[in-house]
Amino acid sequence: MADAPGTEFRSGFVCFVGRPNTGKSTLTNALVGAKIAITSSRPQTTRHTIRGIVHRDHAQLILVDTPGLHRPRTLLGQRLNDLVRDTYSEVDVIALCIPADEKIGPGDRWIVSQVKQMAPKTTLLGVVTKIDKVSRDQVAAQLLAVSELLGSETDVVPVSAVKGEQVEVLVDVIASKMPAGPAFYPDGELTDEPEETLMAELIREAALEGVRDELPHSLAVVIEEVLEREENPDMLDVHALLYVERPSQKAIVIGKGGARLKEVGTNARKQIEHILGVRIYLHLHVKVAKDWQRDPKQLGKLGF
């Protein structure tokens, strides 16, 4: 007997876009049900296209978490933008995230114009994030404003990733816009990102917590090696290098008497152990690579 209309399995790729700090990475983690994208109050935190995989009975959604599209000031910024452009043309749905507690501004309009220019045939969706922060009337007003920005034919979904409100509604709306097709990944797989990339991102996130504005763009993390202990195969030794651009930044990351770096190690270790399911010992070292964001050779060496 044939399936009832609308019950066929759907699968495809979706990309969340929006200004910095609009809740894109938090939303990715909420939909996947695990931490696979780093979240930070700092703009331009995401550096890689991390794919999160959402498994449901009726659909599989692959979330592509890109760096935010922005007006680049460095070679790194240019390369991150190129990464975003490539992604836009390859996904099935682009979901624009706008927070409920912020007015729509020139940055939002610029992103919408870029998306429509770069991916005119890709399905667009509006997502009003952080609805737990405002009243229902404010949510309603923002839904109307986003609908006017994107056009009345575009669906707009309100959501709170932190509280889990409307998360499943968003999954269903995105799934309805995907083509019918088989699952791309086996059940239970949450990301196709290499473990070393995830480790580096989580160390970066821990290092960015509570630091001054000058650091976020200047910090890169490279995993040098991961070793299993012979006497204890359930324990991994992870050696990581944190690169900054200036000696003053090195001092910020290390902190007085090494206190900050120790704190970074403790926080990152907990996150990594949670994701990998094994115990690890983190060896962190901080190095200065002068102006690496503007140097093509150093960018390549650091994985950009």
Annotated binding site for GTP: 18-25, 65-69, 129-132
User: What's the start-to-end Cα distance of the chain, in Å?
Assistant: 51
For residues 275 and 271, give the distance between their C-alpha atoms in angstroms, rounded to a whole number. Answer: 6
Residues 6 or more apart whose Cβ sits within 8 Å of residue 118: 85, 88, 89
In the chain, the amino acid numbered 197 is T
Residues 6 or more apart whose Cβ sits within 8 Å of residue 91: 12, 13, 14, 15, 64, 119, 122
Geometric angle at alpha carbon 95, from 89 and 100, rounded to 5°: 150
With tokens 């706008």, the residue in question is 98
* Sequence ranges of the binding site: 18-25, 65-69, 129-132
Give the residues across from 244 on adjacent strands.
288
For the chain, the C-alpha Rg in angstroms (whole number) is 20
